[in-house]
Structure 1
Amino acid sequence: MPPVAAHGRGRGGGDGALSSPRLRHGTPERAGLDAEQIAGLVRDVRTLAQGSRPWCAGAVLLAGRGPVIAAETATGWAVRCAAYDEKTDRGVDLPKEARVRMTTDTPFDLASVTKLFTSIAAVQQIERGTLGIDAKVGAYIPEFTAAAAHGITVRQLLTHTSGLRPELPLYDARDAAARLALLRAEAPSSPPGDYLYSDLNMLLLQHLLERLTGRPLDVLVREGITRPLGMTATSYGPRPDAAATEDQRRPWAKADRGMLRGEVHDENAWALGGVAGHAGLFSTAYDLAVLCRTLLNGGSYGTARILGPDFVDLMLTAPGLGFRIDQPWFMGDLAGHGAAGHCGFTGTSLVLDPLTDTFLVLLATTVHPRRRPADSAPRAAAATRLARAVVPLSPGRPL
């Protein structure tokens, strides 16, 4: 798809210094999108929960351009299985009357999409001048002796270039003190500077932010992001109304917890009490679309502002702060000219494209009733559908 520039919006844009447009439902044509491609996108997503070996038990799609939601649909089940049967390698289906239908309002365990909120909370402190982007982590939390000794910086945490390994088995530690001791002593496994995606980056960033502000992360996210944006469906757990995730048992999982619904799926986030820098948030497709619109509007939504345009630009410019930039493996043809987004292990994802002012939220229960090898082909296909739906806008035409 050739690049199609947005008119009057996009990165650092917005429709005015005091107010920016809120989301509204409309037709694909009103959004500047091809109706046939959008119909194909909806059709494709509705097949994801079908068949004897579906990609997911259920899914929710929300996509649009500018402030217009052009596609919103739900398919399959929020709760389908009672358990996973190892002998048959299949889920044990609940009776139909006991299952829970997926709806467009169903909350999902966001898994690693939580990292975006932690990153925004950090960039808010950078904007205020209370946190230096190239400051040493040890200057804020010196008791994290390994990070301090290796000179890890805030920027390296936000760009996954600290060298810290992907994960640390905190869920096996005997208590909170032991978990904290493991984090404090964890040294880089590779030279800082090279990209290595790691949950530990966001855990260190959480501790840094909590020390810097004197407030827990859930409060920072609520007061700095979700409350001003009116994201009332976004919070840390427990969320008993959420879509179910996994029948979590060893050996495929790292803990024996049984079928999970409304409790955080990630084992480390669970061990840390449900509020963690890398996982723990629950949200809906609509709330995540609000976040996408906020960033595409330069940090504003309605009369609220959570970041200034320059700092949104900093987050969304390669290599990105918290966000992944131009990743075709889950962004499809939207990748290539500055698209930003993130995925979560439970089946969640979002992509926003400042150049075309488009956004795509695809939330799915890919780990219900148990985790499988990651397959982002449906995410990439959905993003490609949206990219191909973009049509040029007449100069000056408002959405």
Structure 2
Amino acid sequence: MKRAIEKDTEKGTYDGAAFIVARHGKIAMHEAVGKTDLEKNRKANVDDVFFIMSITKQLTTTRVLMDIEQGKFTLNTPVCEIIPEFSIKGKQKVTVGHILTHTSGLNTELPFGLPIDQVGNIETVTAAMSNERILILPGKMVSYNAIAAFSILGALVQRLDEKNRPFRQILKEDVFEPLGMKDTALGLPDRLKSRIVPVKVRDKTPGLFDPLLLESLNFLATEETELPAGGAVSTVLDIFRFSEMLRRGGTFNGLRILSPDTVKHATTIHTGNLPNHLWDYCREMYGWPVFPANLGLSFFIRGEGIFPTPLGLTTSPGTFGGLGAGSTVFWVDPVRDLTYVFLSAGLLEEGHSIMRHQRLSDMVVAAVID
């Protein structure tokens, strides 16, 4: 496993990575390979702080599910019941569940005219999305919403918070601190800047994301930046702690974050056989087949069949996890009781990144001998 990653970095496929493999909650491998800042010739370290990209979605989802457990709203609650200004241009029936399963029918890109320096402002993004029209009837199509829709979820939680805390503080106090995720934050606090891995796109293949948009995190991310879809920073050990909470059914170190039934529901496929239209460009570029989206409540699920998947082809069908743009992945295989976290530097085009993750994930499974 380590040698395979070293070969990747030696070829310049990506710069470096930190990763963990664990079985039954016991860490078997906790390594850092290559470099995480080529310009400074900085060697990768296990405590490097990475922009985890869309793994942020699973962190946000966890806090949304906590509100559902407390009865503040349900998956069937229309967004406009909590955000009244959202109830125009055909969005009246968009529910919390639609957003979590990427079946809302909302614009999957940034709202038209939204300045890039406002992407990290939850209320500004929510206002812009509220003024957008519905593009597809809710529940009829899966189209992964990479950025904007999860700001709406952040706004839901924020507006119902009894302490009137900003969403970054809600995540810190209600999720990160209980799990001991001391090196995780929404936004980039000053205390973590010395260890941050800069976002650099190494694979210049035109694809899903504009490299300039991804690399803008280097100068846009501050202590107050709130991008619930992809703006968190963390270490490989902290994401392992989060994964452990999920593997254990919502509890970690004796503290309950979610109930076992909620975790099971969140990591069950809710999109049927619908494909994820995010990958239409990969079907054309790389000849990928049409395959089910296999999405739970923001979680990616392995499912069954042979097709490109970052979770590996040999993991069990119920394996669940998260994926970050061109760089990061984590998954839990509940049958093998196996956990894998991989955070990398030097971003790949998304299609290439998924095939990289698939190859390495299958190597992790192949190492299990009993």
Q: Give me the TM-score of the superposition, normalised by structure 2.
A: 0.80
> 1:336–1:166: structure 2 CA closer, same or farther, 3 Å change rule?
farther
Q: Which residue of 2 aligns with 1:90?
A: none
1: CA distance between counterparts of 2:181 and 2:47? 12
Distance 1:373 1:163 in 2: 22
Is 1:365 the counterpart of 2:323? The answer is no
Cα RMSD of the aligned pairs, angstroms, is 2.8
Q: Which residue of 2 aligns with 1:321?
A: 297
Aligned residue number for residue 331 of structure 1: 311
Partner of 2:138: 192
Give the percent of matched residue pairs that are identical in Structure 1 and Structure 2: 26
Q: Distance in 2 between matches of 1:306 and 1:147?
A: 36
Superposition map of 1:92-111 within 5 A = 98-111=40-53
Shift of 1:42: 2.0
User: 1:218 aligned to 2:198?
Assistant: no
CA distance in structure 1 between the aligned counterparts of 2:357 and 2:99, rounded to whole angstroms: 26
5 Å-filtered alignment, 1:126-137, equals 126-137=68-79
Secondary structure at 1:343 match in 2: strand
Note if contact 1:79-1:244 (Cα within 8 Å) is conserved in structure 2.
yes
Output the amino acid matched with 1:187.
R
CA deviation after TM superposition for structure 1 residue 145, in Å: 2.7
Aligned-partner SS, 2:321: strand
The structure that has the greater radius of gyration is 1
Match of 1:183 in 2: 129
Aligned to 1:243: 197
Aligned residue number for residue 145 of structure 1: 87
Extract unaligned runs of 5+ from structure 2: 203-208, 271-295
Q: 2:153 corresponds to which residue?
A: 205
One-letter amino acid of the structure 1 residue matched with residue 297 of structure 2: L
Judge conservation of contact 2:78–2:92 (CA < 8 Å) in 1: no
Contact 2:316 2:333 in 1 (8 A): no
Change (3 A) 1:45 1:321: same
Q: Residues 240-288 of structure 1: CA distance to partner in whole angstroms, max 9, x if unpaired?
A: 221111379xx95456977x64854xxxxx8x95212202110011111
The residue that corresponds to 1:49 in the other structure is 9
C-alpha displacement at 1:142, in angstroms?
Answer: 0.8
Tell me the matched-pair count: 323
Note the C-alpha offset of 1:200. 2.7
TM-score, structure 1 normalization: 0.74
2:238 to 287, 295, 301: 287
Q: Using CA pairs under 8 Å that are at least 6 residues apart, name the structure with larger relative contact order, 1 or 2.
A: 1
> Which position in structure 1 is the counterpart of 2:285?
none
What amino acid sits opposite 1:216 in the alignment? P
2:327 is matched with 347
Distance 2:92 2:315 in 1: 34
Query: Closer, same or farther in 2 for the Cα pair 1:77/1:256, shift >3 Å?
Result: closer
Unaligned runs of 5+ in 1: 1-40, 82-97, 265-269, 393-399
Match of 2:366 in 1: 388
Q: 1 CA distance for matches of 2:254 and 2:245?
A: 11
Cα deviation, residue 302, structure 1: 1.2
In 1, Cα distance between the equivalents of 2:220 and 2:344? 16
- Distance in 1 (alpha carbons) for counterparts of 2:349 and 2:154: 29
Please report how far the alpha carbon of residue 148 of structure 1 lies from its aligned counterpart in structure 2 after TM superposition: 7.0
Change (3 A) 1:73 1:247: closer
